[in-house]
């Protein structure tokens, strides 16, 4: 059985003390909520990883970085490598977010390197894909999504692929307040699971967690998460307030 996951993506928000406080609030709310129907992960800035890891302590909450370098070490000023991320205690890394692809020109080839380094260092990968508004409107969106997944993940073995979580995030829905309808999201999630079935077999595809991201909030999460192929969410804006985030965590 695949896992349900609700992962926060704080993006470039909060100072370290603010982030520690937010993490504390989330951990307390998770503890108070009792048995949850999903795993909870917080995706925090690099600078926060160590402190947030300490804050999480033994709480049942996972920790993710939002990126890692496409090299292991050396003269790459300003970069943070997968072994560095792993050494903070983080268990996950978000890779291929559309903001990184768009603003920092991350290519499929670079992401392939990052995926390999993350896995080699024991990190699970939350791999993002999704189309722009133009691609949605001109009908190429399925080809775009398939290429993003194929070009950075299909070199993996079925065994390696078990460490991958997919996040479908239509770019037109990110931070815009415009959510994909639950039917639109379900259609793409089923399409992605079909691609995974062809490449890795039905068992691996069935076991893969596929998250939806893009203006997901407590009010629309229940309808999205009720769809058979939507296994949770990658949450931006609504992950910055513990109450909103918990409203999504408890939507299952």
Q: CB nearer to ligand PGA: give 96 or 237.
A: 237
Cα distance between residue 132 and residue 147, in whole Å: 14
We find the least distance from the C-beta atom of residue 98 to ligand PGA, in angstroms, to be 7
Q: Which are the contacts of 6, defined by CB distance < 8 A and separation ≥ 6? A: 38, 39, 40, 41, 232, 233, 235, 245, 248, 249, 251
Judged by DSSP in three states, 44 sits in coil
Please name every residue paired with 168 in a beta bridge, in sequence order, or none if there are none: 129, 212
Binding of ligand PGA by 209 (CB under 6 A): no
Among the listed residues 215, 221, 224, 245, the single contact to ligand PGA using CB under 6 A: 215
- What token pair was written down for 214? 């893009």
Binding of ligand PGA by 19 (CB under 6 A): no
Binding of ligand PGA by 170 (CB under 6 A): no
Q: CB nearer to ligand PGA: give 58 or 105.
A: 105
- What token pair was written down for 86? 């792993």
We find the least distance from the C-beta atom of residue 126 to ligand PGA, in angstroms, to be 9
Q: Is 169 a catalytic residue?
A: yes
Q: CB nearer to ligand PGA: give 37 or 178.
A: 178
**CA-wise closest residue to 207 among 177, 229, 222:** 229
Q: CB nearer to ligand PGA: give 161 or 172.
A: 172
Q: Which are the contacts of 71, defined by CB distance < 8 A and separation ≥ 6? A: 79, 81, 113, 117
Q: CB nearer to ligand PGA: give 172 or 200.
A: 172
- Which of the ranges 32-40, 48-56, 195-203, 235-243 carries the binding residues for ligand PGA, by CB under 6 A? 235-243
DSSP states along 130-171: ---HHHHHTT-HHHHHHHHHHHHHTTS-HHHHTTEEEEE--G
- Which of the ranges 59-67, 145-153, 187-195, 208-216 carries the binding residues for ligand PGA, by CB under 6 A? 208-216
Taking residue 76's Cβ as centre, other Cβ atoms within 10 Å add up to 12
We find the least distance from the C-beta atom of residue 39 to ligand PGA, in angstroms, to be 17
Number of H helices, E strands in the chain: 12, 8
- Which of the ranges 140-148, 154-162, 169-177, 218-226 carries the binding residues for ligand PGA, by CB under 6 A? 169-177
Residues that bind ligand PGA (CB under 6 A): 9, 169, 174-175, 213-216, 234-238
Catalytic residues: 97, 169
């Amino acid at each position: 059985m695949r896992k349900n996951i609700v992962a926060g993506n704080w993006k470039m928000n909060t100072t370290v003390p603010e982030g520690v406080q937010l993490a504390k609030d989330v951990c307390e709310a998770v503890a108070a909520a009792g048995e949850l129907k999903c795993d909870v992960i917080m995706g925090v800035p690099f600078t926060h990883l160590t402190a947030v890891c300490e804050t999480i302590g033994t709480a049942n909450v996972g920790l993710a970085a939002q990126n890692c370098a496409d090299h292991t070490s050396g003269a790459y000023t300003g970069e943070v490598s997968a072994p560095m991320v792993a050494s903070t205690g983080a268990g996950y890394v978000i890779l291929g977010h559309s903001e990184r692809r768009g603003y920092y020109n991350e290519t499929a080839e670079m992401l392939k390197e990052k995926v390999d380094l993350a896995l080699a260092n024991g990190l699970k990968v939350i791999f993002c894909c999704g189309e722009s508004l133009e691609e949605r409107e001109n009908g190429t969106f399925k080809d775009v999504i398939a290429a993003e997944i194929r070009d950075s993940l299909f070199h993996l073995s079925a065994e390696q692929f078990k460490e991958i979580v997919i996040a479908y995030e239509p770019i037109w829905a990110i931070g815009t307040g415009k959510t994909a309808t639950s039917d639109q999201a379900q259609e793409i999630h089923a399409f992605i699971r079909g691609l995974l079935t062809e490449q890795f077999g039905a068992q691996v595809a069935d076991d893969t967690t596929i998250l939806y991201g893009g203006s997901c909030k407590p009010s629309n999460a229940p309808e999205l998460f009720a769809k058979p192929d939507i296994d949770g969410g990658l949450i931006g804006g609504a992950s910055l307030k513990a109450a909103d985030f918990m409203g999504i965590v408890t939507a299952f």
